[in-house]
Amino acid sequence: MNLISPEILLVPRAMLPSLTIALFGVLLGRADSRRELNQKTISNMVYYFFTPCLVFSSLHKRSFDLLEFTLIGGAALLLIAVMTPIAFHFKRRAGIKQNGYCLPIIFMNTGNVSLPIALLLFGNDGLAKAIMFHMMNILILYSYGVYLVSGKTDFRHFFRIPALYATLLGVLAANTDPQVPELVLQGYAILCKASDLLAYAAIPLLIVNLGYSMSATTRLSTFKDDATGAFLRVVLGPTLAFGLVILYRKLGWLPVGAGLDPVATLGYRTTEAIIILNAAMPGPVMAYLLNVKFDNCPEKAASMVALGTLAGLVTIPLTLHFINLFIAGYRVDLGIVDQERSGRYLLGIECDGANYHRSKTARDRDKLRESILVGLGWRIHRVWSTDWWEKPAEELARIEAAIEAAIKESNAPKTASESVVQVIAAAPPMVVNTSLAAATQLVVPHPPEHEPVLPVYEPFVVGEIKGTPDDFYDAKSDASIRSLIEAVVRMEGPVSHELVARRVAEHWEVGRVTSRTIKRIEGLTGKADVKVVRGTEGTFLWSPSQDTRSFTLFRIPGENEGSRRDAEDLPPQEIANAALHVLEQHVSLPVADLVRETARLLGYQRTGPAVDKAIRGGIGVLVKKLGAKEEGGNVVHLR
C-alpha cells in the first residue's frame, strides 16, 4: 500500500507557498524590533484597493448557473450560520470580549488554498463550483463579517464596503453582454488587465502582514485559545459539511440511490465534494485583514489563521480521504473473489463506458484512480467495450488468463522489497484531469498497447498584428483578410462563420466581434477559396478538399483554452459524428442520455439550453444520414 497518497501530495503544493510568505513576514517582524511597519496602513490599502481588484478579477470571467449557485452558495451560507453560535460560545468560554476572535472560526479560506486543490482534484468543473462557494463566502465575510468586527449597526455602513461593489460588478460583467462601442470595450479590457495585475498583490501583502503580527507573539501559552479556534475550523467544519450533504440528500436536493446512473450524478457528487472540501479549509487571511482594519484582536486572528493553516496540512488530506470513501468512492465494476483468503479479491475487472466517454481528451483518463486502486493492493484488468462487442470469445480468454496470472501471483512467495505490480490489459485507461496526473507525478509502469486517440480541435494561432481596428475596415486590408479566412478554414474547417470572424479580427486587435465585423467578413468570404454551407443551425465554412457528405471527423477540446468552442460554433455534421461514436459503444441510448454523453464527449460538463439545442440538431443530422434511428424514445445505432 502506498504510504503517501495523492491527496497528501496535493495539499502541501497548495498551502506551502502561503506558509513560506508568512515565514518571511515573521522574519521581517523579528528584524523590526521597533515595530516601525504601519500594519494599519497596509490593511487599509488592501481593504480599499487590492481586495476589490481581487474579488472583481475572480468573478468577471466566470459565468454561473443560478440554480447551481443557489445550491452551493446556500451550503456556504448554512455552514456559516451554524458555525456562528459555536464560535461565540467558545469566545465566551475563553473570556474574550472582541468579536474578531470569531471570524477565523466562522469563515473559510476558500481562495488561495481551496481553489488550487479543487482544480487539481476535480478539474475545471470542480473549480467552477468552488468559485461559487468562494463568492458566497466572500460576500458574507465583507458584509456580516464587517458588521461583527466594526460593531456598527448602521445599515448604511454595508454600502460602504468596497468588496461589495466589486462583487456586484464582477457578477454583472460575467453574465451580461452589452452592445457598446469598440472604444469602450478596449477601455474595459485595459481596466480588467489592470485589475488582474493588482489582484496579485492582495494575498501576498496580507500574508506578510499576518506573519508580521505572528512575530509579536512570543509565548506558547497564548496559543491555547487560538488553537481551539483553529481546531474548530478545520475539524468541526468538514464534519458539519458531511452532515449538510446528508441533509441535502434527504431533502432530495442531491440525488442518491443504488439505481442511479453514475454519470448522471457525477456533477452532484462533485458538488458534495466541493462543499466538504471548502468547509475543511482553515480561517481566511481576509478575516485577519478585517481584524487589523477595525483593530479587533488582530494578534489572535493571526495565530488562529496560521495554526489552522498548519493543521490543514494534516486535516485536509484526511478530509479528502473521507470524500473519496463516502462521496466519490473508488468502485470496481467486477471483483474476482480470492477463495483462499476471505475478504480479499484476486482481480478487479473494469469496463469502459459512459464514464470513459465523458473525458475531454485522450489523456484525460482515470490514471490517478487506477494508481490509487493499485496502491491499495488491487490488480486491475480492463476490457474495452468495442473489443468485447467485436470479439467476445477472445476477450473472455484474456480475462481468464488475467485471473490465472493473478492466482499465480497471489500464491507466489513475496519478499519485503517487492512492490505491487500493476497489470493493465490492452485497453484505454479511464477518466482523470491531466493536470492532476502531472501534479502527482504518477507513473503507469505498463502503458496500454492501443488507445484510441480522438482528434483534438486545434485553434488557429494569431500571427503578427496587421494593423488597428480602423485598418480592419479599410479596403486596403481586403487581400489580407481574404487570405486569413482561407488559412483559418484550412486549419479549423469545418468552422462557424462567427468563429472565423473572431480569429481574423484578432489580427487587427478588434476586441469584440459585432454585426459590423460579421458583415465585413461575409463580404470577403465569397471571394475566398472556401465552401460556404448555410443551414438552420448557422453558416459554416469548409475547406475545398472536405466533402460534407462523407465527413466522419469530430474533434474534442484539448488543454488549450482556445480549443474549447461555444455550442453555436459546433458544425452539426461534427456533432452527428460524435453522437455516432457514443452509440457505437452503447448501441442504443435514450435521447436525453445521448445528448448528455455527446455533450460531455465534446467537452461540456453541463448541458444548458444552447448546448442541448446544438446536440439535438446534430443527432437529427445523424438520423437523416441513416446512421441511427429513433425508436420508442431511444436512438438506436444502425450497424
- What's the rounded Cα separation, in Å, for the pair 156 and 454? 57
Residue 241 scores a pLDDT above 90: yes
Task: Please tell me the CATH code under which domain 21-328 is placed.
Answer: 1.20.1530
Confidence of residue 381 (pLDDT cuts 50, 70, 90): confident
Could you tell me which residues come within 8 angstroms of residue 532 by beta carbon, excluding any fewer than 6 positions away?
497, 525, 526, 539, 540, 541, 542
Of residues 198 and 587, the one with the higher pLDDT is 198
CA dihedral over 460, 461, 462, 463, signed as positive or negative: negative
Of residues 268 and 387, the one with the higher pLDDT is 387
* Helical residues (DSSP H) of 412-558, grouped into ranges: 434-440, 469-472, 478-492, 497-505, 515-525
The predicted pLDDT at position 198 comes to: 85
Summary mean pLDDT of the chain: 77
The predicted pLDDT at position 201 comes to: 82
Confidence of residue 331 (pLDDT cuts 50, 70, 90): low
The predicted pLDDT at position 275 comes to: 93
Confidence of residue 485 (pLDDT cuts 50, 70, 90): very high
Confidence of residue 224 (pLDDT cuts 50, 70, 90): low
Of residues 479 and 186, the one with the higher pLDDT is 479
pLDDT in tens, 181-210: 778 878 888 888 888 888 878 778 878 877
pLDDT in tens, 394-446: 888 888 888 888 888 777 654 433 333 333 222 233 333 333 233 223 333 33
pLDDT in tens, 548-572: 888 989 999 887 777 889 889 999 9
The predicted pLDDT at position 267 comes to: 52
Confidence of residue 223 (pLDDT cuts 50, 70, 90): low
Domain ranges, ordered by start, for the chain: 21-328, 334-440, 454-542, 566-639
The predicted pLDDT at position 388 comes to: 77
Could you tell me which residues come within 8 angstroms of residue 459 by beta carbon, excluding any fewer than 6 positions away?
491, 492, 503, 560, 562, 563
The predicted pLDDT at position 401 comes to: 86
Residue 632 scores a pLDDT above 50: yes
Any idea which residue has 450497424 for its cell? 639
In this structure, the dihedral spanned by the alpha carbons of residues 153, 154, 159 and 161, taken in order and rounded to 10 degrees, is: -50
Could you tell me which residues come within 8 angstroms of residue 372 by beta carbon, excluding any fewer than 6 positions away?
2, 5, 6, 324, 330
Class of domain 566-639: mainly alpha
Contact between 330 and 369 under an 8 Å Cβ cutoff? The reply is: yes
Least confident of 109-123, 370-384, 435-449, 460-474: 435-449
Average pLDDT over residues 106-116: 82
The predicted pLDDT at position 420 comes to: 34
Confidence of residue 373 (pLDDT cuts 50, 70, 90): low
The predicted pLDDT at position 9 comes to: 61
**CB neighbour burial string for 77-107, b if at least 16 within 10 angstroms, e if fewer:** bbbbebbbebbbebbeeeebebbbbbbbbbb
Confidence of residue 363 (pLDDT cuts 50, 70, 90): very low
Most confident of 3-12, 321-330, 398-407: 398-407
The predicted pLDDT at position 336 comes to: 79
Confidence of residue 367 (pLDDT cuts 50, 70, 90): low
What three-state secondary structure class fits 414? coil
The predicted pLDDT at position 185 comes to: 77
The predicted pLDDT at position 361 comes to: 37
Say how many C-beta atoms besides its own lie within 10 A of residue 396's C-beta. Answer: 12
The predicted pLDDT at position 65 comes to: 65
Of residues 113 and 534, the one with the higher pLDDT is 534
Average pLDDT over residues 508-535: 88
Residue 355 scores a pLDDT above 60: no
Residue 354 scores a pLDDT above 90: no
Least confident of 52-61, 134-143, 591-600, 604-613: 52-61
Amino acid making up residue 114: S
Least confident of 78-87, 89-98, 418-427: 418-427
The predicted pLDDT at position 429 comes to: 31
The predicted pLDDT at position 478 comes to: 92
**H or E element at residue 291:** helix 285-293
Our CA angle for 567, 520, 495, nearest 5°, is 30
Percent over 70 (pLDDT), the chain: 77
Residue 337 scores a pLDDT above 80: no
Kindly state the cell numbers that stand for 220. 506558547
Least confident of 178-192, 240-254, 287-301, 422-436: 422-436
Residue 256 scores a pLDDT above 80: no
Average pLDDT over residues 90-119: 85
Most confident of 74-78, 109-113, 226-230, 422-426: 74-78
Contact between 427 and 530 under an 8 Å Cβ cutoff? The reply is: no
